[in-house]
Chains A and B, each alone.
Chain A
Amino acid sequence: MSFDINTVIADMLTAIKGSVDKDWKEVKSASAQFLERDKSRMEMIATFRISGELSQEDFESKIEDQKMIIEAELNALAVISKAMAQNAANAAIDILEKAVIGTIKAAL
């Protein structure tokens, strides 16, 4: 059994693509949920300001808080993205390891 680096690289790329494709739906679903929640919160702030339930001071304070909430959401998405990169890298390493071990076994 020969070690064909081109085949191994191609298999590694396929593994990376497969892994990213599988994990992508998680990123998409979380992003959609965050956007929906942001929209709902912003609507509440606007509605309460218009109805007078929120003072101008409270309104400005709540708008300021939105930056922090969005920062928190982006941090959550960063964890999913890192997990996705981790899965993809490990899938590629698995392919390389298997190819190398397979070649050694065949040669011994």
Chain B
Amino acid sequence: MMKSIKQHPILLVAFISVFLFGSCRVALVPAYDANLLSQIDATSKQVDKFYLSMLETTTKENDGRKYELFANDYVNIEVELNSLLTKNKIKPLNENSTRICEITLQLWQKYKEEHKEKNTLSDGLIKLNRQTFSDLFYAMQVAEKGKDMANNPPK
């Protein structure tokens, strides 16, 4: 073997390279987490149901959309969004998903405060808020798909 190395100095470089590159993998995104994606899907459905129910089963008349009637739902959803943010924050290499969650939580709190201040919500605002969160959850899902793509490159 030593003779082979002497005859082929490139082998020495090769040995060093194998030592250096052995099991060396580039990691730019965190590992895919199926549980996190399930929680994103579940929270997305919860928000969708919240706005659809408000739109379909209530009206602005007779204080039908006063904040108090929806306060519990706002809290429950905010708890889920906080949980998503925390789970994203603790993962290394996960600043992009963390930022998407921060934006979602920030807008959720903003819309909650607006509802509280006005103590009602128009059909137009309900539709727009619903669309906004649908798009933000879609962004979260796309980010998770990206992580899955890194673990399982498309064939």
Please list the residues of chain A having a beta carbon within 8 angstroms of any beta carbon in chain B: 2-3, 19, 22-23, 25-26, 30, 33-34, 37-38, 40-41, 44-45, 48, 51, 53-54, 58, 61-62, 65, 68-69, 71-73, 75-80, 82-87, 89-91, 93, 96-97, 100-101, 103-104, 107-108
| 6 A-B pairs with the lowest CB-CB distances in the bound complex, closest first | A53-B124, A83-B150, A79-B146, A89-B26, A80-B146, A48-B124
Interface size on B, residues (CB 8 A): 51
In the assembled complex, the CB of B81 is this many whole angstroms from the nearest CB of chain A, namely 13
The answer to whether A97 and B21 have CB atoms under 8 Å apart is yes
For B11, the chain A residues whose CB sits under 8 A away are: 103-104, 107
The answer to whether B131 and A79 have CB atoms under 8 Å apart is no
The answer to whether B149 and A44 have CB atoms under 8 Å apart is no
Complex-state Cα separation, A51 to B106, whole angstroms:
28
The answer to whether A69 and B135 have CB atoms under 8 Å apart is yes
The answer to whether A75 and B99 have CB atoms under 8 Å apart is yes
The answer to whether A75 and B135 have CB atoms under 8 Å apart is no
Using known A-B contacts A23-B153, A26-B154, A108-B1, determine if residue A100 contacts B146 with beta carbons closer than 8 Å. no
The answer to whether B17 and A96 have CB atoms under 8 Å apart is yes
For A83, the chain B residues whose CB sits under 8 A away are: 28-29, 146-147, 149-150
Of A19, A33, A76, A84, the residue contacting B140 (CB under 8 A) is A76
The answer to whether A72 and B99 have CB atoms under 8 Å apart is yes
The answer to whether A104 and B107 have CB atoms under 8 Å apart is no
For B15, the chain A residues whose CB sits under 8 A away are: 104
Most chain-A Cβ atoms within 10 A of its Cβ — which of B25, B114, B139? Answer: B139
Complex-state Cα separation, A2 to B143, whole angstroms:
43
For B18, the chain A residues whose CB sits under 8 A away are: 97, 100-101, 104
In the assembled complex, the CB of B47 is this many whole angstroms from the nearest CB of chain A, namely 14
For B125, the chain A residues whose CB sits under 8 A away are: 53-54, 58
Q: Chain B: which residue is nearest A80 at the CB level?
A: B146
The answer to whether A65 and B107 have CB atoms under 8 Å apart is yes
Complex-state Cα separation, A38 to B138, whole angstroms:
12
For A87, the chain B residues whose CB sits under 8 A away are: 149-150, 153
* B24 is an interface residue with CB less than 8 A from chain A: yes
The answer to whether A69 and B103 have CB atoms under 8 Å apart is yes
For B128, the chain A residues whose CB sits under 8 A away are: 41, 44-45, 48, 54, 62
The answer to whether A76 and B96 have CB atoms under 8 Å apart is yes
